[in-house]
Chain A
Amino acid sequence: MTLGLVLHLVVWHAYHGAEESAFEHATLAFETANPGVSVELVAVPFGAYSYKLEAAIPHGNGPDLFVGKSNGLQEWIDRGLIDAIDAEVDPSQFVSGTLPPLIHHQRLYGVPLAFKSVALFYRRDRITKPPRTTDELVAIAEREHAADRCGLAYEAASLSYHAAWLHGFGGRILDDNNQPALDSAEAARSIEFVRMLANRHLIAEEATGQLVTDLFNRGECAMAISGPWFLSDIEADVRFGVASLPIVSSTGKPAAPLSEIEALMLPARSKTHAAALNFALFLSGKDAARLRALEGRQTVATAATWQLDEIKNDPVLTAFYDQFKLAVPMSQSRALQASWEPGQRALRRVLRGDVDAKRALAGAQAEIVATLRPAPPPAAKLPFAISLFALGLALLWWRQRAQPEVAFRSQPVAYVYLAPAAVAMGVLVFVPFVVGAAMSLFDYDGVHATFVGWGNFGNILRARDTSLFSPLSFYFALLVTALWTVANVALHVAIGVALALLLRSPLLRLRGVYRALLIVPWAVPNYITALIWKGLFHKQFGAINALLKVCHLEPISWFAHFWTAFAANLATNVWLGFPFMMVVTLGALSRIPRELEEAAALDGASAWMRLRHIVLPLIRPALLPAVLIGAVWTFNMFNVVFLVSGGEPDGSTDILVSQAYRWAFQRGHQYGYAAAYAVLIFLLLVAQTAFGRRMSQKQAT
């Protein structure tokens, strides 16, 4: 019981189900064999996995070892998150093809545990012999297709799934130099093929992972394309088989899925490398690998395991093994990471029938190139610092001149009273602001910062990477944001004032009840409202399309077109925003003496005239500041845009602030670029507010 001498290892993974329990059992075996080491397995949710790693490792809070995927390798290495493995590893110990994806500049960065690629699942009760070619696939799908059934289900709009067809048709995502190569005739043909499947209703519409699982389990599709992780989702009573994806009939090439390697990786600067490596080698060793393969149904990377009879005779595992031999290893490059989103968008557009494959791919290609745009050249710091310093001095002098705070100087105790608020403001507002503003002058990916001066601003304002009318351009987003702000504020004011006037009507009963009800949209947290509205606008299950159907109108695919998506966002934000204007108006109305309107009534003014000439002018002073604040809120209303339309279609409904978010977190960590966006947003808002204040001052005089 020499507890103090036990070495403690923390290992992160994203496994669940059978894979997780096999992993746990293998770990137990390790602990039995190595009494001096205790291993703590931490299951980190898949969705947050890389964020957690990126956040924890640089601060020393990371694990001692983690299960990572080969396709994230280059970025992790670039950002200094993982260390190479210095020990000798015998290549013959592993299935061929599992090591190269883990090698970067001749150094190995992980001990491979398993390889993963998708393959074709088929229900044995429906299909005796899996299709060998796409023609056979189509034939089977045609046969299986019925009103409530389809032949094949898979996430057709996902580029990682589509890659198999892409390769089969001779296309590829990246060329040999890791440059985007989506814009090709082969790629177009592969998408046309899928579109044909969709048009003939041979594949499930708008399929998500969950939908594929459900359809396959219920027998509503005969085939599915998925990976080994799908095994644990299939219900026990379903008899199924796994086969390699078919050969594309028109090219004679196999549909080659992307493959990735799961490996144990060493976080940078961890002090337990030796012990962690020991654990990694144990897990990739024969015994642990057997356990993982048999219990966890993993397609393990350990070569010896595949010699075992019990594995060799397992038709499912060997099917994946065969498929892996044909698969295309995923590139480690950032360019691949940058391709997922644009590729998915292009697929969705084509499947929706918005554009032809060629144009969609060209758009995706341009978007990928824009995302990968080279950083602005480094700039000299000194002249920049001098000019900033001078600017600061000038500002200080101007402030000094403008306000000789005599009262302050004569009452030093005032500083003490103000200190807590000043500190809070400083920490919560001023420091982040300065840091953010400073970041805009750097090319910064979270690890490496290069000073580029106005480079980011230059790139944004010259819109060099994209066409001016591309949704990715600053000016397009600015136009959308302006439209968004004006439309919202106008509707907020119109509806808010109208409801306030109605609530004031002496004929209205239960006024308090209505007022409370109308304030509710304001009181509910806005992201909840946004999610509810997104649900309302859903094409298949949304209440709004259901209403349209009741009225014998065509259901609308709300997020497929700019104006309908914009309208959906607008409706949500109007719902969120009118109560504020209504409350402000109610307050302003309550300060208008009743006699004023009575006097006007006697003066001969009709109800409309009284509204126009007496009521509206009198609530204007109260409404103007509210409009100013509302305009700022709307300008930066990230939640609604991000959650309702999510920028759909094609990022065209994104406003500046959601674009900034995407540049920071969804397009390869371009924090400096995003910070420059934020600074521009700030300047725009300053200008807008100054203009508004001048307006209201003019009004006051």
Chain B
Amino acid sequence: MPLRLCESARSMATVTLDGVGKDHGKAQILGSLSFEIADGELLVLVGPSGCGKSTLLRCIAGLDELSRGRILVDGRDVTQAAPRDRDLAMVFQNYALYPHLTVRENLAFGLKMRKMPAAEIAQRVNDVALLLGLETLLERTPQKLSGGQCQRVAIGRALVRTPKAFLFDEPLSNLDAALRTQMRVELKRLHQRLGATMIYVTHDQVEAMTLADRIAVLRQGVLQQLGTPTELYERPNNLFVARFLGTPEINVVDGKELMQKQFMATLPDRAVKVGIRPESIHFVADGKPARVDLLEQLGWESLVHLDCDGVRLVARVSANAPTVGATVGFKIDDRALHYFDRDEKRL
């Protein structure tokens, strides 16, 4: 079994970003980012498209140059090092398999380039193939593989080299929904098994939440928050993070309006916006009345769109969904409210 692989994969490392920034012409793509990815951690970089997450990953890989700051891998400054001297492996969004090589040759390519003895290459390729279930595909060329198989080969090509850290650039976005969920689980399991340092870029917050040890949310090249999925969900630093994480999106209501319409008695100082997670709205018979505007049935739960005196809210309920047009009573769990100031910062 690929024990050897797991063992060698244990010699993983930290990745440190120190004031990393990148400009394109006059436009700033990445601000000044400083954080560390711990040994064995799976860090997800998430954000809407154009937020700079892919650029950051490419900078770490050495494919793009930094405008400022330093990158350290395992304490060694690699800012000026060529990609091949950083000992990192990357899985690309569209797999980037070498189309003219068989799966076996694809897997072996990096080892060959590093002049590893043939016997060891064969051993490692077999180990990885076994680990990822590629044994029967080894002699095929990429054209003859399905999307999921390609993805597995791409991951295998990264694994086989036992690099210091793995970089994933939206690796699942080209797969269909079912396969994506499945591969997500496989990746999670792989990470648990290898305990490798991984940096994973995605724009899909579900992927981020489910995979990450920690999540870094980026917006226009600036780090919004870095923390565990739970931290981010429960204590978002700002409105952007609150909105970005969670399905359905958090309800954001104007504080004054809530006061006027007597949703609540008091509002903390400086609070301008109030965030209400859909699951913190509960239906109770004696609650504030609201009309059911729309109903989204998901089977195990329902999303109920409410209209209460002109304030629109989405509630998530697990059972006994009301009918559309009915008037229901609801109440908001006070402790689950998120208050944001004028700058959309958490209070």
A interface vs B, CB < 8 Å?
593, 595-596, 598-606, 609, 613-614, 617-618
Instruction: Report chain A residues within 8 Å CB of B84.
Output: 601-606
Name 4 extra pairs, CB < 8 A, besides A595-B96, A603-B161: A593-B96, A601-B83, A602-B90, A606-B84
**Shortest distance from the beta carbon of A593 to any chain B beta carbon, whole Å:** 7
Instruction: Report chain B residues within 8 Å CB of A605.
Output: 84, 109, 113
**Shortest distance from the beta carbon of B281 to any chain A beta carbon, whole Å:** 45
Q: Does the CB pair A593–B161 fall under 8 Å?
A: no
The CA-CA distance from A8 to B110 in the complex, in Å, is 89
Instruction: Report chain B residues within 8 Å CB of A606.
Output: 84
Q: Does the CB pair B157–A603 fall under 8 Å?
A: yes
**Shortest distance from the beta carbon of B251 to any chain A beta carbon, whole Å:** 40
Which residue of B88, B98, B99 contacts A600 across the interface (Cβ within 8 Å)?
Answer: B98
Which residue of A600, A603, A609, A618 contacts B100 across the interface (Cβ within 8 Å)?
Answer: A618
Instruction: Report chain A residues within 8 Å CB of B83.
Output: 598, 601-602
* Closest residue on chain A to residue B63 by CB atoms: A598
The CA-CA distance from A105 to B114 in the complex, in Å, is 89
* Closest residue on chain B to residue A599 by CB atoms: B96
The verdict on B284 contacting chain A, using a C-beta distance below 8 Å, is no
* Closest residue on chain A to residue B84 by CB atoms: A604
**Shortest distance from the beta carbon of B122 to any chain A beta carbon, whole Å:** 17
The CA-CA distance from A604 to B157 in the complex, in Å, is 12
In order of increasing CB-CB distance, the 8 nearest A-B pairs are A603-B110, A595-B96, A604-B113, A599-B96, A604-B84, A601-B83, A605-B113, A595-B92
**Shortest distance from the beta carbon of B63 to any chain A beta carbon, whole Å:** 5
Instruction: Report chain B residues within 8 Å CB of A604.
Output: 84, 110, 113-114, 161
Q: A598-B92, A601-B82, A601-B83 are in contact. Are A618 and B63 (CB under 8 A)?
A: no
Q: Would you mind naming 16 contact pairs between A and B with Cβ atoms under 8 Å apart? A: A593-B96, A595-B92, A595-B93, A599-B92, A600-B98, A601-B62, A602-B63, A602-B83, A602-B90, A603-B110, A603-B113, A603-B157, A604-B84, A604-B110, A604-B113, A605-B84
The CA-CA distance from A614 to B99 in the complex, in Å, is 9
Tell me whether chain A's interface is mostly helix, strand or loop, or mixed: helix
**Shortest distance from the beta carbon of A347 to any chain B beta carbon, whole Å:** 59
Q: Does the CB pair B98–A602 fall under 8 Å?
A: no
Instruction: Report chain B residues within 8 Å CB of A609.
Output: 113
The CA-CA distance from A595 to B110 in the complex, in Å, is 15
Which residue of A600, A602, A614 contacts B89 across the interface (Cβ within 8 Å)?
Answer: A602
Q: What string of 1s and 0s marks CB contacts (under 8 Å) between B90-108 and chain A?
A: 1011101011100000000
Q: Does the CB pair A595–B94 fall under 8 Å?
A: yes
What is the interface size of chain B, counting residues whose CB is below 8 A from a CB of the partner? 23
* Closest residue on chain A to residue B167 by CB atoms: A602
Q: Does the CB pair B99–A618 fall under 8 Å?
A: yes
The CA-CA distance from A602 to B61 in the complex, in Å, is 7
**Shortest distance from the beta carbon of B39 to any chain A beta carbon, whole Å:** 20
Tell me whether chain B's interface is mostly helix, strand or loop, or mixed: loop
* Closest residue on chain B to residue A613 by CB atoms: B109
* Closest residue on chain A to residue B86 by CB atoms: A602
**Shortest distance from the beta carbon of B322 to any chain A beta carbon, whole Å:** 50
* Closest residue on chain A to residue B115 by CB atoms: A604
Instruction: Report chain A residues within 8 Å CB of B94.
Output: 593, 595
Those of B11-40 within 8 Å (CB) of chain A:
none
The CA-CA distance from A618 to B142 in the complex, in Å, is 14
* Closest residue on chain A to residue B154 by CB atoms: A599
Q: Does the CB pair A600–B109 fall under 8 Å?
A: yes
Task: Among A595, A599, A605, A617, find the residue whose CB has the most chain B CB atoms closer than 10 A.
Answer: A599
Instruction: Report chain B residues within 8 Å CB of A596.
Output: 96, 98-99
Instruction: Report chain A residues within 8 Å CB of B161.
Output: 603-604
Q: A595-B92, A595-B94, A598-B92 are in contact. Are A603 and B99 (CB under 8 A)?
A: no
Q: A601-B63, A602-B83, A603-B161 are in contact. Are A617 and B88 (CB under 8 A)?
A: no
Instruction: Report chain A residues within 8 Å CB of B89.
Output: 602-603
The CA-CA distance from A598 to B154 in the complex, in Å, is 13
The CA-CA distance from A605 to B161 in the complex, in Å, is 13
The CA-CA distance from A108 to B109 in the complex, in Å, is 87
Which residue of B88, B92, B98 contacts A614 across the interface (Cβ within 8 Å)?
Answer: B98
* Closest residue on chain A to residue B114 by CB atoms: A604
**Shortest distance from the beta carbon of B80 to any chain A beta carbon, whole Å:** 15
**Shortest distance from the beta carbon of A506 to any chain B beta carbon, whole Å:** 11
* Closest residue on chain B to residue A609 by CB atoms: B113
Instruction: Report chain A residues within 8 Å CB of B110.
Output: 602-604
**Shortest distance from the beta carbon of B70 to any chain A beta carbon, whole Å:** 20
Instruction: Report chain A residues within 8 Å CB of B86.
Output: 602
Instruction: Report chain A residues within 8 Å CB of B157.
Output: 599, 603
The CA-CA distance from A603 to B89 in the complex, in Å, is 7
Which residue of A598, A613, A617, A618 contacts B96 across the interface (Cβ within 8 Å)?
Answer: A598
The CA-CA distance from A345 to B53 in the complex, in Å, is 75
**Shortest distance from the beta carbon of A312 to any chain B beta carbon, whole Å:** 91
Task: Among A596, A603, A606, find the residue whose CB has the most chain B CB atoms closer than 10 A.
Answer: A603
The CA-CA distance from A618 to B98 in the complex, in Å, is 9
The CA-CA distance from A613 to B62 in the complex, in Å, is 21
**Shortest distance from the beta carbon of B243 to any chain A beta carbon, whole Å:** 32
The CA-CA distance from A598 to B92 in the complex, in Å, is 9
Task: Among B93, B110, B113, B157, find the residue whose CB has the most chain A CB atoms closer than 10 A.
Answer: B113
Q: Does the CB pair B88–A602 fall under 8 Å?
A: yes
Q: Does the CB pair B109–A603 fall under 8 Å?
A: yes
Instruction: Report chain A residues within 8 Å CB of B88.
Output: 602
The CA-CA distance from A668 to B90 in the complex, in Å, is 72
* Closest residue on chain A to residue B88 by CB atoms: A602
The CA-CA distance from A601 to B124 in the complex, in Å, is 20
Task: Among A596, A600, A601, A604, find the residue whose CB has the most chain B CB atoms closer than 10 A.
Answer: A604
Instruction: Report chain B residues within 8 Å CB of A603.
Output: 84, 89, 109-110, 113, 157, 161
**Shortest distance from the beta carbon of A316 to any chain B beta carbon, whole Å:** 81
**Shortest distance from the beta carbon of B163 to any chain A beta carbon, whole Å:** 9
The CA-CA distance from A601 to B110 in the complex, in Å, is 9
Instruction: Report chain B residues within 8 Å CB of A614.
Output: 98
**Shortest distance from the beta carbon of B58 to any chain A beta carbon, whole Å:** 8
Q: Does the CB pair B90–A599 fall under 8 Å?
A: yes
Instruction: Report chain B residues within 8 Å CB of A618.
Output: 99-100
* Closest residue on chain B to residue A617 by CB atoms: B100
The CA-CA distance from A609 to B113 in the complex, in Å, is 8
**Shortest distance from the beta carbon of A509 to any chain B beta carbon, whole Å:** 15
**Shortest distance from the beta carbon of A469 to any chain B beta carbon, whole Å:** 45
The CA-CA distance from A599 to B62 in the complex, in Å, is 11
* Closest residue on chain A to residue B82 by CB atoms: A601
* Closest residue on chain A to residue B160 by CB atoms: A603
**Shortest distance from the beta carbon of B83 to any chain A beta carbon, whole Å:** 4
The CA-CA distance from A529 to B232 in the complex, in Å, is 70
Instruction: Report chain B residues within 8 Å CB of A599.
Output: 90, 92, 96, 98, 157
